[in-house]
Amino acid sequence: GAGVSQSPSNKVTEKGKDVELRCDPISGHTALYWYRQSLGQGLEFLIYFQGNSAPDKSGLPSDRFSAERTGGSVSTLTIQRTQQEDSAVYLCASSRTSGGINEQFFGPGTRLTVL
Amino acid sequence: GENVEQHPSTLSVQEGDSAVIKCTYSDSASNYFPWYKQELGKRPQLIIDIRSNVGEKKDQRIAVTLNKTAKHFSLHITETQPEDSAVYFCAASEGSNYQLIWGAGTKLIIKP
């Protein structure tokens, strides 16, 4: 079946512009996660959606970052007034939530470059 | 909240030798411990996981061990091969919370 998909795969933007990154999770997965991964670094948690519950936004680095998930499926991560330090790969993951097992399936990521 | 520490940050081993990566966690309520492998330029993928009611789990050349008392778990790779070169991430999760708390990653280098 289809895995997690993300678009665009690459995005180059100028400093100060807004960008939108999209994530399509695996059908039926109720949990969706956004991570940021700078070159050679680990997985930095950004935000977590679980069903109809209020999202956990505790990882968002500033108020320039926001995300929404419409209809419990597709999610969009928006970065306003981009800065050069926002350059990174943005990874989305989704998972079932049952039985205490949380295998997260990752998308291929969006590589964001802010000039 | 949960905190996961992972060591070493880089591990270089001779092809054919074994590699061991260790993680410690802080929350005794954590009960699920997965390991992910991320090859260069690719997405992380689950390679093995263990639940807290089990002390060890094996899958061919890889194994994970869990010590609940000491709150640490380890990834063991035997007979390492060039394709094992990657970054490995450990994580921990408490059952009612489906978030994973991630270690910082270990870059495994297999020397020919």
Q: What is the DSSP letter of A81?
A: S
- Out of B43, B104, B105, the one facing A91 most closely (by C-beta) is B43
Q: What's the rounded mean pLDDT across residues B53-60?
A: 92
- Provide the pLDDT for residue B99: 85
Q: What is the pLDDT of residues A20-46, one digit of tens each?
A: 999 999 998 999 999 999 998 999 999
Q: What count of CB pairs under 8 Å joins A to B?
A: 48
d(CA A14, CA B57): 48
Residues ≥6 apart with Cβ < 8 Å to A65: A46, A77, A78, A79, A80
- Out of B42, B46, B105, the one facing A103 most closely (by C-beta) is B46
- Provide the pLDDT for residue A51: 86
d(CA B108, CA B22): 13
Q: How confident is the model at residue A74 (pLDDT cuts 50, 70, 90)?
A: very high
Q: What is the pLDDT of residues A84-94, one digit of tens each?
A: 999 999 999 99
- Out of B32, B99, B102, the one facing A48 most closely (by C-beta) is B99
Say yes or no to pLDDT of B86 above 80. Answer: yes
Please list the residues that pair with B89 across neighbouring strands.
Answer: B36
- Provide the pLDDT for residue A100: 64
Q: How confident is the model at residue B95 (pLDDT cuts 50, 70, 90)?
A: low
Q: Residue A10: what residue type?
A: N
d(CA A75, CA A44): 18
- Provide the pLDDT for residue A1: 60
- Say whether residue A10 is in contact with chain B using an 8 A CB cutoff: no
Chain B nearest-CA residue for A92: B43
Residues ≥6 apart with Cβ < 8 Å to B21: B6, B7, B8, B11, B74, B75, B88, B90, B106, B108
Q: Does B89 sit within 8 Å of A103, measured CB to CB? A: no
Q: What's the rounded mean pLDDT across residues B42-47?
A: 96
